[in-house]
Structure formats: C-alpha cells, structure tokens
Structure 1
Amino acid sequence: MSILVATNFSKTSENAVEYAACLAKEFKTRLILFNAFKIPIHASNARLSASFVENLMNKNKNKLKEIALGLKRKFSIETETECSFVGLDQEADRLMQAYDCRFLVIGMSSKSMEQNLLGNPTTTLISMKRFPVLAIPVNAKFTGIKRILFACDLLQDIPLKTLAKLRRIAADLKSEVTVFYADQKISELDDIPHDSIDKGLENLTLLYKNVESNKVIEALEKEITRSKSELLVMMPKKYGFWESLVHKSKTRVMASGLNIPLLSIPIE
C-alpha cells in the first residue's frame, strides 16, 4: 500500500506533502510524489525547441526527486516520484492503481466565493468519486489524529467495503470515531437505524451525535469546533445526471475551505 500526494511546489501543496509524509511514517508505507509539468506562461508563447522543453522537464523532475529524498531522510520513509505532462485529473486513476494507493493527498485552498461557485482542483477530484481524496488545508499540521468526525446524511445502506476503508484508517491511527448525523427534526438515536455502521466500523471506539438542523454545513462547522476533531470524513453519494445539475454536494462545499483535513471516501 502507498500514499499518493500531488504537488505543484506551491505553499499549499508543500504543506500537503509534509502532512502526507507524516501519514506515510505513521502508516509505515511509501509515499508517491506526483507533479504535472507545465511550461511556464512566459515561455509558452515562444517557439521552443524539443530539447529546451526536455531540459525544463528534467529540471522539474530533479526538483521533485530532491524533495522526495529530503522527505526520505527526514521521516525514514520510502519515496518515489512521478512527473508527467498530463494533469492529475487524467493521471490519478492510473497512479492509484499502479502504486496500490490508499488515498490521494492534495492541498486545499482557503475558502472563497469563487471556489464555492466554480470549485477548485480539490473539489474536481472529489467530484470524480472514484477513489478516496484527503484534502489538507494550508495551515493544517499533523500532530496525530485521535478524533475523527464522520459526517453522513444516511445511517444505513453504506456498503461494508466503503466503511472498511474508514475502519482501517481509524484503527491504524488509534482514533475514536464520532458519527455525526444532522436532520430537520431531532430523533432518539435508538430510532435511527445504524446497524450497518456498527458492523462496518466494528472494533472501533464509536460515538453517535444527532443534532436538529436544516443547515447541515453550519451544524458541521460548529461540531468540528466543539468536538476538537482532527479529521472530517464524508462519503459522497453518486447522483444521476439531472439530479447532479441541481444538487450542491455537501462534501464539495466543505472542501472549498476547512481548518482541518477532509477525507472524502466515495460510496461504492
């Protein structure tokens, strides 16, 4: 098993790489660094020879290898690098399969109106709903993850194989998991069916929290602060074409800016 992390050498992605390296050490697994090479704007308007472009690409590869070597020495982990002209959204599936990755780590930009409307690279990858994506805010630092907040809008019919991914991560991190459920009217937890979650997350320390709210995002943000959670987990559902046009994904909204990492595990 491996962890895949994407970097474009920005401050946001550098922080994500550092966080991913900490996780790789924690999980005792290797870290794969990926960079999608892009020709600089000032050079793209000029007539460039093949050798010049190749030279730029090699410099990019060497920079990525230097970062990987530094992480290997600092964290005592195995590292590998991948550099491509093809973007992450096109390469992600191949890399996830080739290196048997648990999840993809990517930096998460600060919240803005533009991102809420148009999204960003992180929300684009989450929207693909093909593999787990761990989004790291620019100011998030890894100090261990002992409290996980699992937010869901359904407490049944989640496949066990999907829940198993969360169970393995929580078990490896020795984390307790709080299952957070918001509804328009408060219900007794005994009245809410959650047998599948009990079974899928067995052997973990599980807590259930049910709140009355018709503003799920606001309720989530308050619960993150109240519970001092260090990781938010969401499991986005797949929607049909027409429904996807009018549905504003809660996972996508949360990924447009958080103070703690967000792990999106698509429901299979």
Structure 2
Amino acid sequence: MKTIAVLTDFSKRAENAASYALHLAEHLHANVKLYHSFIVPSNTPMAYQIVWPMENYEELKNNSMKQLKLFGAELKKEYSMEADVNFKPEIEYECHDGDFTSYLKVLETENDLVLLVIGNHEKGISNWLMGNHVNELMDKVTTPVLVIAEEQKFTKINRIAFATDLSTEDVEQIHSLTSLASAFNAEIVIVHVADEKYNEQESQEKVTHLLGEITSKINFSKIYYRHLKSNDPGNGLDWFTEHGRIDMLVMVHHTQTFFQELFKGSLSKEIAAKAQLPLLIYPSTASSVPVF
C-alpha cells in the first residue's frame, strides 16, 4: 500500500506537518506512517564523559511508541468529513534509536514510500534550504520530501509550480508530479526564471526541446509553461508563487549550489520567510520516481 511517512519530534510544527500529510493521503489513497527517532544517551559520542544511569533501550522505545500512538489518536480526529473524500488512511507507527538518516534506507526499502513529510523548523523555505538539514537529508534520500511551513494548513491543490533549469532530466519528475496533480485535477506550471543576460535563442531552443519531450512522453493536458525575467532567480520565483495563485512549489535537488543560487538574495529570503507554500523536493539521484 502506498505510504506517506511523517518524520515527527512531537512538536507543534510536526503536528501541523502530520495534519497536512493526513489530508493529502486521503486524496492520494495512501496510508500514513508516523516515524520518530530517539536517542539513547549512553550511545552518544560524549556519553563516556558523563555518568549516565543504565539506559533501558526497550523502555525508551516503548515510551516513544506510546507517544506516537497518542499523536496518531489526535491525528485521527482530523479525518475529513467532506463528501468527496471517501478514503481514510490507516495510521502506522515506527520508531528507532539513533539519527534518522542512519535508518533512512531501511525505512524506504521496507515500505512502499511515495513521500517523506517534514515540518519546517526555520522561519522560511529559504532558511531551511540553506541549512544543513536539507543537504544531509537530500544527499541520502531516494524518496521525494515535502516540507510544510509551520502555519501551513491543508487546502485543495489547484495549481502547482515546477521550477526548472530547462533540463530534460526534469521530465521524469514532471511525469511523476502529474499523478499527484491528477488527484486534485490541478494544473502544473513549468517555471523558468532567467536574468536579463540570458541568451534568448539558446533559451528558446531549450524550452522547445523540453516541452517537446513533455508532450511526447506525458499524457497530461494541464501543463503550461511560464518564463520569468529577474536579476535574481529567487526573487522571480518568490514573486510568482506569491502572485500566481500557486498551492505547491516543486523543485529537483541537484546540488547545494543550485539552491544557494536560487535563494541568494536577501529580498527572496524575506519573501520566502513569509511564504506558507508546501515545498516538494525530488532527489535527482533517485533511480526511480513514485506514482502518487
């Protein structure tokens, strides 16, 4: 069964991310797995410098599982009562000791994961992207990651923006994204932001080639293209997400420098800090992409 995993630390932002994931799962007909990683103090590198009481691994695990189930019980109260929602996701629980990324491969291989959901712990998307968390996670993950802003509430997805550098390598991710868009009858807007120094002829050739690949390989009629001019790519994308009636922003994680370039402007950071858009990130190194 398709599964959406929610990484939780039992914080308010994690509760909000889980709420969004639950309602998304209702539309995608996927189950939800709540995952928590806990730390056994005696196993930490600095533990030898401190006299720790004898840690009981099973006790820590049992306590974490109890918290997860209480967390899940509260989440079940949010099942949708809307007439067009006829699927109730099962909520599963899993916890493990140690850093989450060390257990990531096991979580991905033992479950039919289509999405990892995490709450945004900073004040905005750009801050989160520029931090170590996304770099560490995206360097190891093979499943798309959905970042939910702390105050973001679930609303019907009508328009999705896919930021591209016009690489045809994005076609596979766009194809995957159509399965998510189809669940909401949503539009996908392919967005490319370029400064005034770009070569118009060369850019147009890339656009024509990319759209040709999309048309020949993807059977989805609600895909559109939008070219934006901006001296700062981050500013242009921020403007479009703010004024373009966008409900979700999607990117492919290539390298850290891509994100640094995208959000290098102070104005873009300011706008992104105020943004409440869900951010879906595909890892470029994944051998396959999910069907939502």
Superposition TM-score, scaled by structure 2 size: 0.77
The correspondence for 1:181, drawn from 189, 192, 207, is 192
Question: Structure 1 pair 196/120, CA: closer, same or farther in 2 (3 Å)?
Answer: same
The correspondence for 1:89, drawn from 101, 104, 120, is 101
- Any conservation in 2 of the 1:163–1:200 contact (CA below 8 Å)? no
Question: Structure 1 pair 25/40, CA: closer, same or farther in 2 (3 Å)?
Answer: farther
The correspondence for 2:69, drawn from 65, 79, 87, is 65
Equivalent-residue separation in structure 1 for 2:247 and 2:102 (angstroms): 30
1:185-225: per-residue Cα shift (whole Å, max 9, x none)?
47489652221233444324112110122311111000001
Instruction: Look up the match of 1:231.
Output: 248
**Large movers: runs of 4+ above 6 Å:** none
Q: Residues 214-229 of structure 1 correspond to what in structure 2 (within 5 A)?
A: 214-229=231-246
Instruction: Look up the match of 2:3.
Output: 2
The correspondence for 2:146, drawn from 103, 124, 134, is 134
Q: For structure 1, which runs of at least 5 residues remain unmatched after alignment? A: none
SS of equivalent to 1:249 = helix
Equivalent-residue separation in structure 2 for 1:153 and 1:234 (angstroms): 10
Q: Residues 29-178 of structure 1 correspond to what in structure 2 (within 5 A)?
A: 29-39=30-40, 45-51=50-56, 53-72=57-76, 74-75=78-79, 76-111=88-123, 115=127, 119-128=131-140, 130-160=142-172, 162-178=173-189
CA RMSD of aligned residues (A): 3.1
CA positional deviation for 1:120: 4.3
Equivalent-residue separation in structure 2 for 1:87 and 1:200 (angstroms): 39
Instruction: Look up the match of 2:18.
Output: 17
Tell me which moved more, 213-222 or 31-40. Answer: 31-40
CA positional deviation for 1:124: 2.8
CA positional deviation for 1:155: 4.4
Equivalent-residue separation in structure 2 for 1:204 and 1:105 (angstroms): 28
Tell me which moved more, 169-178 or 85-94. Answer: 85-94
Equivalent-residue separation in structure 1 for 2:187 and 2:166 (angstroms): 20
Tell me which moved more, 247-256 or 126-135. Answer: 247-256
- Any conservation in 2 of the 1:166–1:201 contact (CA below 8 Å)? no
- Any conservation in 2 of the 1:157–1:196 contact (CA below 8 Å)? no
- Any conservation in 1 of the 2:194–2:230 contact (CA below 8 Å)? yes
- Any conservation in 2 of the 1:251–1:264 contact (CA below 8 Å)? no
Amino acid at match of 1:169: L
Q: For structure 2, which runs of at least 5 residues remain unmatched after alignment? A: 80-87, 287-292
Identity of aligned residues (%): 26
Equivalent-residue separation in structure 1 for 2:214 and 2:98 (angstroms): 38
Amino acid at match of 2:109: Q
Amino acid at match of 1:99: N
